[in-house]
Amino acid sequence: MAIYGIINAIKGIINSINGIVNAIYGILKAINAIYGIVKATNDINNAIYGNFKAIKDIKNAMNGFFKAINVIYSLTNFINGMFNGIYSLKNSINGIVIVIFGLNIFSKNA
């Protein structure tokens, strides 16, 4: 009977060691799960940061686009100004020609 008691005691010790090993394994799995959650949170943060960076890049691109439109608008105004200048110069030359023509007629009549 004593031998059975000793064998049962050894079995109990083995079972308790097994339980401790299982508990340690469970704790390690829980730590691994926490690490996974932290990594997932980090990935989410990186994705959010990436979205904000993409939005900033889009905003910068739009700013560049509007600057380009402004340059085109300024160029259009410059070209319009040049045509207005050429038109004024033409009118001025016409005026000078008319004055010369008038002086010519006036001098012939005088």
Measure the CA–CA gap between 19 and 6, rounded to whole angstroms: 20
Specify the pTM.
0.46
Higher pLDDT, 11 or 101: 11
Residue type, 35: Y
So what's the pLDDT on residue 110?
Answer: 62
For 44, the token pair is 């989410």
Whole-number Å distance between alpha carbons of 96 and 77: 28
Q: How many residues does the chain have?
A: 110
What's the pLDDT score for residue 101? 82
pLDDT in tens, 47-89: 999 999 999 999 999 999 999 999 999 999 999 999 999 999 9
